[in-house]
Amino acid sequence: MVMIVKYNLKDKVVIITGASQGLGEQFAHGFAESGAHVVLAARRKELLDKITAELEKQYNVKTLAVETDVGKEKDIINLVKQTVEKFGTVDVLVNNAGMYIVKPLLEQTLEDWDTVMNVNLTSAFLASREVAKIMIPKKSGVIINISSTFGFGGTRFPEISYYTSKGGMIAMTKALAVELGEHNIRVNAIAPGFFPTPMSAGAFDDEKIRTTMIEPRTALPMFAQNEWIRGAACFLASDDARYITGHTLAVDGGWLAF
């Protein structure tokens, strides 16, 4: 099989949170395919080890798996520390870790709210702060925040904390882009629509949700495949996007066009 490298990210060092499955795993393959060395962070170390072995064998790149609970500040500090110890730097951060809790507003507890905010938004703040300590002195770097089309508005799913956290991710992307721009650090976001990841597979399996919510707002004549998210992240990390910052790129099959 001939490997086609779509973007030249050779020897770049990329940290990806929430990398044990779903879109995080796809980002890992996309960056490794483009020649980057990949640091995978998540709580399930056994899954990370499996993916890193695949990446090293398939793409001949270096990897590092770091067991990380992104809800804990010390774990994020350790993640960046281990990355620098092995690779000497950080070039790209992908804040991908995310979760949701489906409950009506009146049933959502403060603990539910805090849990989602910590994983989805606070972790991105902490990881961005830590990598900025590396990127600012060298006057280069890329941060990519994974938001959602749900960050632009609500749906019939009762997930108030998820919507709020993903909307906050878009706002944080703009704020960081402005603050870090003078240091030649670009900060952008990706807003995926419905992808058949383990996190959202239930929506596709539910005929009512699929036919009344997903299909009517999918402009293209097909549903997404998980690997189709790879190019957006690699593009934003590449020199092709050198003058793009503070932007949120929707990869949604036309969801936001309606």
* Per-residue pLDDT tens over the stretch 29-66: 999 999 999 999 999 999 999 999 999 999 999 999 99
Distance CA 113, CA 197 (A): 23
Distance CA 41, CA 70 (A): 8
CATH of the domain at 77: 3.40.50.720
Average pLDDT score, the chain: 95
Domain that holds residue 74: 13-257
Spell out where the chain has E strands: 13-17, 37-42, 63-67, 92-95, 141-146, 185-192, 248-251
- Indicate the pLDDT class of residue 4, thresholds 50, 70 and 90: low
* Domain contains 248: yes
Does the active-site annotation cover 162? yes
Total number of domains in the chain: 1
Question: In what helix (H) or strand (E) does residue 82 lie, and over which residues does it extend?
Answer: helix 73-87
- Indicate the pLDDT class of residue 27, thresholds 50, 70 and 90: very high
* Domain contains 1: no
Does the pLDDT at position 137 exceed 50?
Answer: yes
- Indicate the pLDDT class of residue 206, thresholds 50, 70 and 90: confident
* Domain contains 7: no
Does the pLDDT at position 246 exceed 70?
Answer: yes
* Domain contains 90: yes
* pLDDT (0 to 100) of residue 198: 86
Q: How many residues does this entry show for the chain? A: 258
Distance CA 53, CA 174 (A): 35
* pLDDT (0 to 100) of residue 239: 96
What average pLDDT does this structure show over 11-31? 98
Is-above-0.85 flag for pTM?
A: yes
* Domain contains 171: yes
Does the pLDDT at position 5 exceed 70?
Answer: no
- Indicate the pLDDT class of residue 199, thresholds 50, 70 and 90: confident
Backbone angles phi, psi at 92, to 5 degrees: -140, 135
Higher pLDDT, 3 or 104: 104
What average pLDDT does this structure show over 186-204? 90
* Domain contains 4: no
* Domain contains 238: yes
Of the residues 7, 162, 163, 243, which is catalytic?
A: 162
Q: How many CB atoms lie within 10 A of CB 253?
A: 22
For the record, the structure tokens of 34 come out as: 């483009």
* Domain contains 205: yes
